Amino acid sequence: MKKHFIIAASTIFSLNLFSQVGINTPNPQGTFHIDGNKDNPVTGFPNVAQQANDLIVTSSGNVGLGTIAPTSKFEINNGTNAGAIKIVDGTQGSGKVLTSDENGVATWKQNTPSLTNTYYSVIPTVTHITSSYMVYASLTLPAGTYAIRGFAMARLFNYYSRTYFSVGGTPIPHSYYEINVPQLGMLVPYAIYTSSTPFTVNWIMQNDYINANNAPVLASPPDQFTALFSATLIAGI
């Protein structure tokens, strides 16, 4: 019985004596400290470069990777290098975001905006359409499905006006309009467009009409408009 008591007492004494555990370092800076590259100093504090390969558990239970002074329960300091965290669980994929459920369990999910009906608009600064092809206004939009609208009130002319929306130089299908707009008439092109990446949509205006020889002729006087160009997000990607 006496021998068992001595062993137990010795064990308790050793745990109290060595309250900090260091691996690859005789100079642990926390309750549990691993120096991955064995490059920490014997005394004093490791510098930033030396901490880069360290793992530490502090007395408050904080865990640090790349830092010996974590200020939250889990902190990673990867310096200026991107990609400090990699989580592979079968749900990962390009463009996905880590999303938590009501219990805090996170999985990778598609980056779908939680709010639709986000509205983007611009008032064109050009009011005189003086050429047979002009980028009248532009909107740069995040990925998604949009209802794209143009609204223009014509002034001081009575000629054909051609208009459509384009992305990357390609007209959006069903957005092409050719209308004989009277003085003080309205022009309201409309289109639905979906893109999985950010994009710029242009509102193209053409100030011409078709003559008897089926050739475009520049209108004179030049078309004049008061306009609004807008896009409303109706579904996320």
Strand partners, 148: 191, 231
Q: Which of 37-46, 55-64, 95-104 has the lowest mean pLDDT?
A: 95-104
Which domains can be identified in the chain, with CATH numbers? 1-78 (no CATH), 115-235 (2.60.120.40)
Given a contact cutoff of 8 angstroms between Cβ atoms, the answer to whether 31 and 19 are in contact is: yes
Q: Which of 151-155, 192-196, 227-231 has the lowest mean pLDDT?
A: 151-155
User: Residue 11 in 3-state DSSP?
Assistant: helix
The percentage of residues in the chain with a pLDDT greater than 90, rounded to a whole number, is 40
- Give 82-124 as a 3 state SS string: CCCCCCCCCCCCCCCEEEECCCCCEEEECCCCCCCCCEEEECC
Chain mean pLDDT for the chain: 80
DSSP strand pairing (159-167 vs 199-206): antiparallel
How confident is the model at residue 223, as a pLDDT?
Answer: 55
Highest average pLDDT, of 63-77, 98-112, 221-235, comes from 63-77
How confident is the model at residue 211, as a pLDDT?
Answer: 45
How confident is the model at residue 156, as a pLDDT?
Answer: 52
How confident is the model at residue 155, as a pLDDT?
Answer: 61
Query: Using one digit for the tens of pLDDT, what is the confidence trace for 117-168?
Result: 678 888 876 666 666 677 888 999 998 899 999 887 766 555 566 788 999 9
Read off the pTM.
0.47
Mean pLDDT, to the nearest integer, of 218-229? 64
Mean pLDDT, to the nearest integer, of 66-70? 96
Name the residue with higher pLDDT: 15 or 96.
96
Q: Which of 62-76, 180-194, 201-215, 218-232 has the lowest mean pLDDT?
A: 201-215
Query: Using one digit for the tens of pLDDT, what is the confidence trace for 15-59?
Result: 444 589 999 999 999 999 999 999 999 999 999 999 999 999 999
List C-alpha distances in Å: 83 to 40, 62, 76, 87, 133.
25, 21, 11, 11, 46
* Helices (H), ranges, the chain: 2-17, 48-51
List C-alpha distances in Å: 136 to 150, 202, 218, 232, 236.
10, 7, 16, 19, 27
